[in-house]
Chain A
Amino acid sequence: MDNALGTYPGSSSQRLPIPAEQAARERAWVLAAQAGDQAAFGRLVEAYQKPVYNLTYRMLGNPEEAEDAAQEAFLRAYANLASYDPTRKFSSWLFSIAGHHCIDRLRRRRFRFIPLDEAPRLHKSLPDRHPQPEATALAREEEQLFQRLLAQLSENYRLVITLFYWYDLSCQEIGEVVGISEGAVKVRLHRGRKKLAELLCAHESHEGVPARIPSPSGARKEGRKHALSRC
Chain B
Amino acid sequence: MRCRDAERALALYLDERVAGPLPSALSDHLVDCPACHDEWAALRRVEALFARAPLADPSPDFAAAVLARIDAGVERVAAVPARRRWLRRGWLGAGLVAGSLLLVALLISLTIWGLIAYGLSTLVTGWLQDPQVVNTWQALLAQADFWVTTSFQTLLTVVEALLPWIAFGAVAFVFLSVLAYVLVLAWGWLIGRVWWSGPATAAVNGG
Please provide the chain B residues from 7 to 41 with a CB less than 8 Å away from any CB of chain A in the complex. Answer: 11, 13-15, 17-22, 27, 30-32, 34-35, 37-41
Query: In the bound complex, what is the Cα–Cα distance between A42 and B69 (angstroms)?
Result: 12
Which residues of chain A come closer than 8 Å to B73, judged between CB atoms? 75, 79
B205 at interface, CB cutoff 8 A: yes
Which of B17, B35, B45, B203 has the largest count of A CB atoms less than 10 A from its CB? B203
CB pair B55–A166 under 8 Å, yes or no, is yes
CB-nearest residue of chain A relative to B64? A42
Which residues of chain A come closer than 8 Å to B22, judged between CB atoms? 5, 7
B48, B51, B195, B199: the one within 8 Å of A108 (CB): B195
CB pair B66–A45 under 8 Å, yes or no, is yes
Which residues of chain B come closer than 8 Å to A197, judged between CB atoms? 39, 42-43, 45-46
Which of B45, B46, B55, B62 has the largest count of A CB atoms less than 10 A from its CB? B46
Which residues of chain A come closer than 8 Å to B14, judged between CB atoms? 8, 189, 193
CB pair A75–B204 under 8 Å, yes or no, is yes
Query: In the bound complex, what is the Cα–Cα distance between A186 and B207 (angstroms)?
Result: 29
CB A154 to nearest CB in B, in angstroms, measures 16
Query: In the bound complex, what is the Cα–Cα distance between A230 and B27 (angstroms)?
Result: 20
Which residues of chain B come closer than 8 Å to A8, judged between CB atoms? 13-14, 17-20, 47
A92 at interface, CB cutoff 8 A: no
B136 at interface, CB cutoff 8 A: no
A12, A71, A80, A194: the one within 8 Å of B66 (CB): A71
CB pair A57–B56 under 8 Å, yes or no, is yes
Which residues of chain A come closer than 8 Å to B166, judged between CB atoms? none
Main secondary structure of the interface of A (DSSP, over half): helix
A74 at interface, CB cutoff 8 A: yes
Which residues of chain A come closer than 8 Å to B27, judged between CB atoms? 2, 5
A87 at interface, CB cutoff 8 A: no
CB A219 to nearest CB in B, in angstroms, measures 7
Q: Could you give, for residues 172-194 of chain A, a 1 whenever the CB lies within 8 Å of some chain B CB and a 0 otherwise? A: 00000000000000100110011
Which residues of chain A come closer than 8 Å to B13, judged between CB atoms? 8
Which residues of chain B come closer than 8 Å to A31, judged between CB atoms? none
Q: Could you give, for residues 80-119 of chain B, a 1 whenever the CB lies within 8 Å of some chain A CB and a 0 otherwise? A: 0000000000000000000000000000000000000000
CB-nearest residue of chain B relative to A217? B34
CB pair A53–B58 under 8 Å, yes or no, is yes
A231 at interface, CB cutoff 8 A: yes
CB pair A38–B70 under 8 Å, yes or no, is yes
Chain B contact residue count (CB 8 A cutoff): 59
Chain A contact residue count (CB 8 A cutoff): 76
B67 at interface, CB cutoff 8 A: yes
A42, A49, A189: the one within 8 Å of B58 (CB): A49
B59 at interface, CB cutoff 8 A: yes
CB pair A10–B17 under 8 Å, yes or no, is yes
A157 at interface, CB cutoff 8 A: no
CB B153 to nearest CB in A, in angstroms, measures 59
CB B38 to nearest CB in A, in angstroms, measures 5
Please provide the chain B residues from 58 to 82 with a CB less than 8 Å away from any CB of chain A in the complex. Answer: 58-59, 62-63, 65-67, 69-70, 73
CB pair A143–B53 under 8 Å, yes or no, is yes
Which residues of chain A come closer than 8 Å to B40, judged between CB atoms? 5
CB pair A50–B35 under 8 Å, yes or no, is no
CB-nearest residue of chain B relative to A1? B31
Q: Given known contacts A190-B11, A198-B42, A218-B34, what 11 new A-B pairs fall within 8 Å (CB)?
A: A10-B17, A16-B55, A45-B62, A49-B58, A49-B63, A50-B58, A67-B59, A78-B204, A79-B205, A101-B207, A108-B194
The 5 closest A-B CB pairs, nearest first, are A53-B58, A197-B42, A75-B203, A57-B56, A226-B35
Residues of chain A at the chain B interface (Cβ within 8 Å): 1-2, 4-12, 14, 16, 38, 41-42, 45-46, 49-50, 53-54, 57-58, 63, 66-68, 70-72, 74-76, 78-80, 101, 104, 107-108, 111, 126, 129, 139, 142-143, 146, 149, 165-166, 171, 186, 189-190, 193-194, 196-198, 200-201, 212, 214-215, 217-221, 224, 226, 228-231
